[in-house]
A and B are shown apart, each in its own frame.
Chain A
Amino acid sequence: MIPVAFDYVRATSVDDAVRLLREHGDDAKLLAGGHSLIPMMKLRLATPATLIDISGIPQLNTVAVNGGRITIGALTTHAALAASDALRASAPVLWDAANQLGDPQVRNRGTIGGASAHGDPAADYPAALLALDATFTIAGAGGERQIGAGDFFRGMFETALASTDVLTAIAFDAAPASAYVKFHHPASHYAVVGAAAVLTMNGGTIGAARIALSGIGDAAFRAGSVESALTQVDTADSAAVRAACAGAAAGSEARSDTFASGAYRAAMADVFAARAVALAAGRTKTRR
């Protein structure tokens, strides 16, 4: 319940944050909403020597829709995303994830940047951001760089962020035919299985699909074989959708815990992938 003592500094800008990270070394951690980090600190599973509070940095908490491109500041709270009509219309997959993440208090305080940087394999955003093929903007010692979602989520609590990096924004193209569905862990609210689908539709038929899963293995991943199998599938044919989603977890070694075995997780990956596809496809229909 009581974290180990630490020093606390506030960063006034992204550059300042990068400077402070360099100054304080590997024992420093960024603090945004704190809803991934503070729970670990309270259990003393994380013991940073210094916290650099970036929550006061201006202009990192906006949702900008520019043509078909959506850019989200890293300090945007889950609640702000969950309440965003623009996001709901343009990328409901991420809106779904924001609405199903944690609980209202967590959503009010936690940020998309913090949650993404944490790299929790059972988190909701990684699947949605992989399916959106999002781009992460990172400020670091060598200046600013951009990295795709496929390269960002690397493993259990592991991302492409180096110790002096600050994630500043996440951007992606609009994807109105998209959805995220989740098998909630009854205690933790994390995803036992989270499935994200982003579809490009040709009438009632899937032209292209990006399917991503979280909760299953050490990191969220794209289900490539399902994506190809879904191409040309008529979404009105639910048996065909289910068949295409079979083996969704094949690319990952599914974890076991007291709630769900790896085999069950893998089976549920198929079920929830199909449900995400159905929900995403349905969203194109209602819009027409």
Chain B
Amino acid sequence: MAFTAMVGARIRRREDPRLITGRATYTDDVRLVGTVYAAFVRSPYAHAKIRSVDLGPALAHPAVVAAYSGHDLHHAHGLKTSLPVAHKMPDLLTPPHYLLAFDEVRVVGEAVAIVIAKTQYAARDAAELVEVAYDELPVVVDPLLAMVGPPYVHESLGTNVAFRMPLRAGDPDRAFAEADEIIKQRIVNQRLAPVPIEPRSMISSWDEGMQQLTLYSATQIPHLLRTQLSIVLGLPENHIRTIAPEVGGGFGAKLNVYAEEAVIGWASMQLERPVKYVETRSECFQAMIHGRDQVDDLEIACTKDGTITGLRLRIVGNLGAYHQLLTPVVPTLTLLMALGCYRIANLDAEVVGVFTNTMSTDAYRGAGRPEATFFIERAIDMVAQRLGLDPVEVRRKNFIASTSFPHTMPTGLTYDSGDYETTMDKALKIVDYAGLRARQAALRKEGRYLGIGLSTYVEVCGMGPSAAMAAGGWDSATIRIEPTGSITVLTGISPHGQGQETTFAQIVADELGVPIDHVSIIHGDTDKVQYGIGTFGSRGTAVGGAALKLAIETIQAKAITIAAHQWEANPDDLEYREGKIGVKGDPSKSMTTAEAGFLAFMGDHLPPGLEPGLDATRRFEPPNFVFPFGTHVCVVEVDARTGEVKVEKYLAVDDCGPLINPMIVEGQVHGGIAQGMAQALFEEVVYDERGQLITGTLMDYAIPHAEQLPHFQLDHTVTPTTVNPLGIKGVGEAGTIGSTPAVVNAVIDALAPFGVVHIDMPLRPEKLWSAMHGASNGVTR
């Protein structure tokens, strides 16, 4: 068979046949005999004392099997362990976060009781029969007000400030004293809802004979979920099996250990029968983590030629009512990426994390980095506008030079590799930037408002070195060469749309010389797969794929030892060539990995001392993060009569290193751009001043439809990293991070004739129309 390289090819995904025919098994599709169904009773108030919970009417419903209040769990059943928060912040305030609220509720949608019935319809009916009496307490939803509270979300803390983290580098005071211009701007990064199309779903069963708990859940982190369940439920970890079956999108929102997961697991133990819970979309809007929600105050010092000499920054992160798994970490990532891809030597910054009576914020696609990219890319455009320079030239002037990598930033991060100017120039050439500017000038004379926006982003991903992570940052892979020659791969990551069943098989096929359909990629089941950290932070391939590469190297080394023994050759004289073992400089002899695996299985022709079997488990500990980058260009026209934005052109030139499957990389970028553009133009979670969620359904919260999005044109450059053996950088979040500022910069550019400097997102038509009609409220001029 001729060797055909799989890596780099546009191979159709191997996971798709089951998905396109409706034969995939998502959590809600799991059917277990004797299943009962749960519904949660949730707080209608943002802050209240729970006076009493009467489960009686629900328990009287003929189909109800059981009902428990938070009081029952806490006092009668002793479930007093708080839900986990992963962090390494010594001074972080961590108020308790119990499985069900029993004394006080602090956010609308907080669960106070669970009702379990024989059908999901009956469970919903009976949940409405539970009578909960509340005494309302004062509510705070605005983080700037909460910072100087009372009222306090957690009265016992005596403050709403969970942490402050300062960061100072260089001599910012001098930079500001010597600046030609100082630009001050407040930038609000609005709250978003992740909205995976599959809501949270879980089904748990308890095997009394084996004393084994099995929880299927729509999660991105099956192993971390198992560990936390063990801690919260007090059950030995080796008696828990967690399974992430097909997962219908996560975007960070399923990178969490939710109270409901623990309660459902516990309930199945109590009842000794399977318990299923699938949330409604309305519950999802209330009780799935939210993203973003920062108020970022910037001061930018620059010289007349556009050189940015200093940045003062205060990031106020709205944490919501409780810490979820990574809540406090997210705004600190903003701080780390505050300087973008620019040489800004002087920084005076602080992050403040603040509790409010809202749903917790946590990792949503990009998790802290989109906020940083947004304000620094906006800042570049504001500098250009103030100084009358082209935003392209301001970027060029401040870029970190391609010759200076690895490049250590004032924030302490070391960027691995980059070539920002090449990527930008490629993008400018493709869109004919000069031509666009000429057209813009011509259209303005006709009273039409074209805007051109750039974003030259860099982001940090491939999470990450364990030293810098709240919990381990490594990941794992096992490769088994089976006796018949097929190859089983167990990966510690937990893909849910990212396509690693295909891309990992491409890598294995090339390296071990087998047809791709001989490779199976197994993931998401803690009883099958060795411990892994999971899929988030654009780490799946950059970390999990790197572990796979290490496992391949171990397999190859052993296969070479086996072949050398068979051929009575010196292993040093053998090599892997196009997926087969051969003798260096002698093309006549070869052995396949399958043949070596068969010998290893038979066990009787192995070198003395070599263990039988051909398999390997390896873990990759990343020595650094990876830093993908790129240039996005957006061209919009704003309708002067309505303020509606039409995106005329969108180009992304991304650099995530070498591409294993370009089709899959493009898909990741498309989806990322869509979510980032949606933040710019459409999406916003709104709570009123009493903490009521105004945007609580898909009738109010606008995730984009097909006709609201344009065609996305893509291109790329390739700058490998040395951080991992594949040379690749993550691409899961780059589109989201890069796109939002490109869109907003384009819209603000369109409105430049009206003297507009900044408008906060989402750029709803009314805001733009008002800005074009002289409004001052909400518009910086």
Q: Do chains A and B touch in the complex (CB under 8 A)?
A: yes
- Taking beta carbons and an 8 Å cutoff, which residues of A are in contact with B? 1-2, 4-5, 43-44, 183, 185-188, 258-261, 264, 267-268, 271
B698 and A186: CB pair below 8 A? no
Q: Which of B120, B125, B641, B701 has the most CB of A within 10 A?
A: B641
Please name the residue on chain A nearest to B641 by beta carbon: A271
Nearest residue (CB) in A for B701 is A187
Find A258's partner among B686, B697, B770 (CB 8 Å cutoff).
B686
Does A1 contact B124, Cβ atoms closer than 8 Å? yes
The answer for the CA separation of A271 and B764 in the assembled complex, in Å, is 17
When chains A and B are docked, how far (Å) is the Cα of A127 from the Cα of B766? 23
Give the shortest distance, in Å, between B128 (CB) and chain A (any CB). 8
Contact digits for B707-731, partner A, Cβ 8 Å, 1 yes 0 no = 0100000000000000000000000
What 8 A-B pairs are tightest by C-beta distance, nearest first?
A: A187-B702, A186-B702, A264-B766, A188-B699, A2-B124, A1-B280, A271-B641, A258-B686
Residue of B nearest to A192 (CB): B765
- Known contacts A2-B124, A260-B766; is A188 also within 8 Å of B280 by CB? no
Residues in A whose Cβ lies below 8 Å from that of B121: 2
B764 CB contacts on chain A under 8 angstroms: 259-260
Q: Which of A44, A187, A264 contacts B699 (CB 8 A)?
A: A187
Q: Give Cα distance in the complex from A227 to B765, angstroms.
A: 27
Number of B interface residues in the complex (CB < 8 A): 30
Q: Is B566 at the interface (CB under 8 A from chain A)?
A: no
B373 located at the interface, meaning its Cβ lies under 8 Å from any Cβ of chain A in the complex: no
* Cβ–Cβ < 8 Å partners of A1 in chain B: 124, 280-282
Task: Give min CB distance, A191 to chain B, whole Å.
Answer: 13
Given contacts A43-B282, A186-B702, 15 further A-B contacts (CB under 8 A): A1-B124, A1-B282, A2-B125, A44-B128, A183-B642, A187-B699, A187-B701, A187-B702, A188-B699, A258-B700, A259-B702, A259-B764, A259-B766, A260-B766, A264-B769
- How far is B764's CA from A186's CA once the two chains are assembled, in angstroms? 10
Cβ–Cβ < 8 Å partners of A43 in chain B: 282, 697
Q: How far apart are the CA atoms of A264 and B767 in the complex, in Å? A: 9
The residues of B that contact A267 with a CB separation of less than 8 Å are: 769
What separation, in Å, do the CA atoms of A44 and B697 have in the docked complex?
14
* Chain A residue at minimal CB-CB distance from B697: A43
Which of chain B's residues have a CB closer than 8 A to the CB of A268?
A: 642
Are the C-beta atoms of A188 and B700 separated by less than 8 Å? yes
B419 in contact (CB, < 8 A): no
Bound Cα distance from A261 to B775, whole angstroms: 14
Query: From residue B694, how far is it (CB to closest CB) to chain A in Å?
Result: 6
**Distance in angstroms between the alpha carbons of A43 and B704 in the assembled complex:** 23
Cβ A2 vs Cβ B120 within 8 A: yes
**Which B429-480 residues have C-beta < 8 A from chain A?**
none
A2 CA to B765 CA, complexed, in Å = 35
Residues on B lying within 8 angstroms of A by beta carbon are: 120-121, 124-125, 128, 280-282, 641-642, 682, 684, 686, 694-695, 697-705, 708, 764-766, 769-770
**Do residues B642 and A187 form an inter-chain contact, with CB atoms below 8 A?**
no
Do A261 and B684 touch across chains, with their CB atoms under 8 A apart? no
Expressed in whole angstroms, the Cα–Cα distance for A259 and B644 within the complex equals: 12
Chain B interface SS verdict (over half): loop
Interface of A is mostly: loop
What are 21 of the A-B contact pairs (CB < 8 Å)? A1-B124, A1-B280, A1-B281, A1-B282, A2-B120, A4-B125, A43-B282, A185-B702, A186-B682, A186-B704, A186-B708, A187-B699, A187-B703, A188-B700, A258-B694, A258-B695, A259-B702, A259-B766, A264-B770, A267-B769, A271-B642
The chain B residue sitting closest to A259, CB to CB, is: B764
CA distance in complex: A261, B641 (Å): 16
Contact: A187 with B698, CB < 8 Å?
yes
Q: From B769, which residue of chain A is reached at the shortest CB distance?
A: A264
B695 / chain A contacts, CB cutoff of 8 Å: 258
**Assembly CA distance A27 to B123 (angstroms):** 24
Counting chain B CB atoms within 10 Å of each CB, which of A2, A44, A260 scores highest? A2
A260 partner residues in chain B, CB cutoff 8 A: 764-766
Q: Whose C-beta in chain A lies nearest to the C-beta of B678?
A: A186
Chain A residue nearest in CB terms to B703: A187
In the complex, the chain B residue whose C-beta lies closest to that of A2 is B124
Residues of A within 8 Å of B641, CB to CB, are 271
Kindly list chain B residues whose C-beta atoms are within 8 Å of the C-beta of A183: 642
How far, in angstroms, from A268 to B770 measured CA to CA in the complex?
Answer: 12
Cβ of B682: which chain A residues have Cβ within 8 Å of it? 186
Task: State how many angstroms separate the Cβ of A110 from the closest Cβ of chain B.
Answer: 15
- Residues of chain A lying within 8 A (CB to CB) of residue B766: 259-261, 264
Q: How far is the CA of A188 from the CA of B125 in the complex (A)?
A: 27
What's the minimum C-beta distance from A268 to chain B, rounded to whole angstroms?
6
Q: Which of A186, A260, A271 has the most CB of B within 10 A?
A: A186
Among residues of A, the one whose C-beta sits closest to the C-beta of B767 is A264
Bound together, the chains give a CA A186 to CA B705 distance in angstroms of 8
- CA of A186 to CA of B120, assembled, Å: 32
B684 touches A258 (CB 8 A): yes
In the assembled complex, the CB of B772 is this many whole angstroms from the nearest CB of chain A, namely 11
Within the assembled complex, what's the spacing in Å between the Cα atoms of A267 and B768? 13
Is B120 in contact with A187, judged by CB distance below 8 angstroms? no
Chain A residue nearest to B688 in the complex (CB): A258
Residues from chain B with a CB closer than 8 A to the CB of A188 are 699-700
Chain A contacts for B697, CB-based, 8 A: 43
- Separation of A245 and B766 alpha carbons in the complex (Å): 19
Q: Write out the residue numbers on chain B whose beta carbons fall within 8 Å of the beta carbon of A185.
A: 702
Q: B187 to nearest A CB, angstroms?
A: 20
Contacts of A4 in B (CB 8 A): 125
A267 to B121, CA, bound (A): 45
Question: Which B residues lie within 8 Å of A259 (CB)?
Answer: 702, 764, 766
Task: Report the minimal beta-carbon distance from A10 to chain B, rounded to whole angstroms.
Answer: 22
Q: Which residues of B contact A187 (CB under 8 A)?
A: 698-703
Once bound together, how far apart are the Cα atoms of A275 and B150, in whole Å?
A: 51
**Which residues of the partner chain A approach B705 to less than 8 Å between Cβ atoms?**
186
The residue on B at minimum CB distance from A271 is B641
CB distance from B693 to the nearest CB of A (A): 11
Which A residue sits closest to B643, measured CB to CB?
A: A264
Residues in A whose Cβ lies below 8 Å from that of B282 = 1, 43
Alpha-carbon distance A196/B694, docked complex (angstroms): 30
Cα-based distance from A273 to B575 in the complex (angstroms): 76
Q: Which residues of B contact A261 (CB under 8 A)?
A: 766
Q: Which residue of A lies closest to B699 (CB)?
A: A188
B694 contacts which chain A residues (CB < 8 A)? 258
What CA separation (Å) do A185 and B682 show in the bound complex?
10
- B704 / chain A contacts, CB cutoff of 8 Å: 186
In the bound complex, residues from chain A placing their C-beta under 8 Å from that of B281 are 1
Residues of A contacting B698 with CB < 8 Å? Answer: 187
Q: How far is the CA of A259 from the CA of B700 in the complex (A)?
A: 9
CA A268 to CA B642, docked complex, whole Å: 7
Considering only CB atoms, which chain B residue lies closest to A190 in the complex?
A: B699
Q: How far does the alpha carbon of A186 sit from the alpha carbon of B699 in the complex, in Å?
A: 9
Q: CA separation between A183 and B703, bound complex, in Å?
A: 17
> In chain A, what residue has the closest Cβ to B766?
A264
Residues in A neighbouring B769, C-beta threshold 8 A = 264, 267
A186 to B766, CA, bound (A): 13
Least Cβ–Cβ distance between A271 and chain B, in angstroms? 5
Considering the chains assembled together, what is the distance between the CA atoms of A1 and B698 in angstroms? 13
Cα-based distance from A2 to B120 in the complex (angstroms): 9
Complex CA gap A2/B128 in Å reads: 12
Q: Which residues from A are CB-within-8-Å of B684?
A: 258
